[in-house]
Amino acid sequence: MADQYLDVPIQLRFGDMDINHHINNVQFARIFEECRVRSFASWLADRPAGFSVLVARQDIVFTAVLEYSYEPVIVRSCVSRIGNTSFTLSLTLIDPAGTTCAVAETTMVSVNTDTGRPTPVPDAVRAVLAAHLVADAGLPVRP
């Protein structure tokens, strides 16, 4: 099961801090974006020609303050859902001390590059996504 996850180290920037001396919540979206890009580069090195995706939705739950560090954070990436034209990535941001600071779910939609309209996820991509599927991954359940 551990092979389904991809741990991506992301270096924080000093400029990511806010007036409270911790990483600003807006920067989490940028960190999660960087992880998505690196995940796709790793998983889909032989990406099918014409395959394109757009972000349809991103939800972030903040679970702890993220302090600036010279050590990179780890963003753990996996797939939590695969639909006909979309799929969801689950991303967990872990600080250098091992504390989970945020969890995100990002829904990506496969689009036709000519029309911009949703199109079925190609079978080759679906197979790669399925190899990284973790059914119980995702946002924490509200109490």
Long-range contacts of 115-121 (CB under 8 A, 24+ apart): 118/85, 118/86, 119/85, 120/84, 120/85, 121/82, 121/83, 121/84, 121/85, 121/86, 121/87
**pLDDT in the model for residue 141:** 59
pLDDT in tens, 96-142: 999 999 999 999 999 998 888 999 999 999 999 999 999 888 776 55
pLDDT band at 18 (very low <50, low <70, confident <90, very high): confident
| Tens-digit pLDDT profile for residues 37-88 | 999 999 998 888 888 999 999 999 999 999 999 999 999 999 999 999 999 9
pTM of the model: 0.90
Torsion-angle region of 88 (φ positive above 0: left; ψ -120 to 50: alpha; else: beta): beta
Residue type (1 letter), 101:
C
pLDDT, the chain, mean: 92
pLDDT confidence of residue 2: 63
